[in-house]
């Protein structure tokens, strides 16, 4: 059995891959330099000393390289290249994960570019990465007053970007490459509708009625009943209609993966995502392949192996992320990897030690909620769809044999996605 984080670290040591995925790999692997200052968060279990030294050296060289390659305006992509927002957010996020403080000029330049470029960007990848960068940035301020001021500003940008993603979700619960850039009126209309306890479709603005998030989930992603289909007129009988559900050509599970991660952390900034994640869950539950995995494209009912939309290791990870967010997993629990009841017990001991009846009540409610969430986590582990997907994923994970030096580079996107799944489900091994 191969520890997912160890596999990721081994791949970091391999040079010469596309910048986009190479950076994503460094972010996800979470291999921090041991002497990079207070900005680094809690480290994963250490690698064996020799491998840790190599990983540290690889990360250090990567940090030096990234710092030297930033453009004058804060992005890592030239002015005539696409995805400039994403190429500012992902390297900036990577550097912060590697310990560079948010006060560093490189991060400040990236943040200034992102804040400006985000205003008109509608690319799903770029929007999601900008949210991830800003969320990470918001947690690095040490000065309380400055942190509060910055939080309000960053929360607003994240809200704007997250609402674009929500508006960009399709009727199959996923995302394509583009999302609509909302004007101020549309943003406020969407905000009010999402925050409403119960949506009255009759009172929605016409454009909101067309959004997937306000459709009846029970009527989406379901096989059509031939008995209820309208019979074509005689003159059209010669036109043969395609049989069975057809793949969704407008979305893919890679864009969906990034949109999910962006919205996942947007929860921390009070973005309501419950309806959105419910559709995401249905997308993956309605399209799981017979072998337990998922492919790049959506296919109602799944598809046979080896087809264009057959099972892919990385997309199987995406499916598992989708099922996790459907079950209500929130970022703090994902990061901590610790049962909520244990964390609540510490708070309980402090509160219960006081003479305040209010504190006793708060302590009891805290423990009650924590136990309920731990029970939900257990149900998630016992979910047959998730269990089947993890079994499918285990077929793509194994212990490398022979030499581990100078081996051909693997699929960095898969390794990054695998590490995310391992963190979300708190898995020490897969398979």
Enter the DSSP assignment of 48: P
Residue 115's φ and ψ, nearest 5 degrees, are -60, -35
Kindly report, residue by residue over 55-114, the tens digit of the pLDDT. 888 889 989 999 999 999 999 999 999 999 999 999 999 999 888 999 999 999 999 999
Most confident of 176-180, 227-231, 243-247: 176-180
Kindly report, residue by residue over 166-208, the tens digit of the pLDDT. 999 999 999 999 999 999 999 999 999 999 988 888 889 999 9
Mean pLDDT along residues 242-249: 44
**Confidence band (pLDDT; 50, 70, 90) for 121?**
very high
Residue 58 burial (CB count, 10 A): 19
Asked whether 271 and 263 are in contact (CB, 8 A), the reply is yes
**Distance between CA atoms of residues 418 and 10, nearest Å:** 14
Can you give 10-65 as a three-state secondary structure string?
HHHCCCCCCHHHHHHHHHHHCCCCCCCCCCCCCCCCCCCHHHHHHHHHHHHHHHHH
Average pLDDT across the chain, whole number: 78
Token output for 115: 């804040």
**Distance between CA atoms of residues 406 and 107, nearest Å:** 32
Q: Which residue has the tokens 């992005």?
A: 75
C-alpha gyration radius of the chain: 23
149/409: higher pLDDT: 149
% pLDDT > 70, the chain: 65
pLDDT of residue 350: 54
Lowest mean pLDDT among 25-39, 119-133, 333-347, 377-391: 25-39
* Angle, CA 63 vertex, CA 420 and CA 152 arms, to 5°: 65
DSSP string, 340-363: HHHHHHHHHHHHHTSS-HHHHHHH
Question: Please, where are the H alpha helices in 297-356?
Answer: 313-326, 331-336, 340-352
Token output for 293: 């995995």
pTM value is 0.78
140/290: higher pLDDT: 290
pLDDT of residue 217: 86
Residue 26 has pLDDT above 60, yes or no: no
């Amino acid at each position: 059995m191969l520890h997912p984080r160890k596999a990721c670290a081994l791949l970091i040591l391999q040079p010469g891959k596309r910048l986009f995925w190479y950076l994503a790999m460094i972010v996800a692997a979470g291999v921090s330099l041991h002497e990079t200052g207070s900005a680094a968060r809690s480290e994963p279990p250490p690698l064996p000393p020799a491998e840790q030294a190599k990983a540290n050296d690889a990360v250090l060289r990567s940090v030096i390289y990234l710092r030297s390659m930033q453009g004058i305006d804060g992005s890592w992509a030239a002015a005539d290249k696409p995805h400039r927002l994403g190429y500012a957010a992902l390297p900036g996020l990577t550097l912060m994960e590697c310990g560079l403080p948010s006060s560093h000029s490189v991060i400040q330049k990236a943040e200034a570019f992102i804040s400006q470029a985000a205003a008109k960007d509608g690319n799903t990848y770029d929007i999601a990465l900008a949210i991830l960068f800003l969320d990470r940035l918001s947690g690095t301020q040490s000065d309380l007053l400055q942190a509060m001021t910055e939080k309000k500003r960053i929360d607003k940008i994240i809200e704007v970007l997250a609402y674009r993603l929500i508006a960009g979700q399709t009727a199959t619960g996923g995302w394509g490459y583009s999302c609509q850039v909302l004007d101020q009126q549309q943003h406020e209309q969407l905000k009010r509708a999402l925050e409403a306890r119960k949506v009255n479709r009759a009172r929605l603005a016409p454009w909101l009625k067309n959004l997937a998030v306000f459709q009846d989930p029970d009527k989406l992603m379901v096989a059509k009943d031939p008995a209820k289909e309208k019979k074509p007129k005689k003159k059209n009988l010669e036109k043969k209609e395609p049989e069975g559900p057809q793949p969704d050509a407008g979305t893919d599970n890679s864009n969906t993966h990034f949109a999910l991660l962006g919205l996942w952390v947007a929860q921390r900034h009070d973005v309501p995502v419950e309806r959105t994640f419910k559709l995401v869950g249905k997308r993956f539950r309605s399209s799981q392949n017979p072998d337990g995995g998922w492919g790049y494209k959506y296919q109602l009912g799944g598809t046979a192996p080896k087809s264009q939309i057959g099972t892919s290791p990385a997309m199987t990870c995406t499916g598992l992320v989708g099922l996790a967010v459907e079950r209500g997993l929130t970022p703090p629990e994902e990061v901590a990897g610790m049962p909520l009841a244990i964390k609540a017990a510490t708070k309980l001991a402090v509160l219960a030690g006081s003479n305040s009846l209010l504190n006793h009540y708060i302590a009891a409610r805290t423990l009650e909620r924590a136990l309920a969430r731990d029970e939900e986590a257990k149900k998630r582990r016992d979910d047959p769809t998730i269990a089947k997907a993890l079994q499918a994923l285990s077929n793509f994970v194994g212990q490398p044999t022979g030499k581990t030096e100078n081996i051909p580079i693997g699929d960095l996107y898969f390794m990054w996605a695998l590490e995310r799944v391992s963190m979300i489900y708190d898995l020490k091994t897969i398979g």
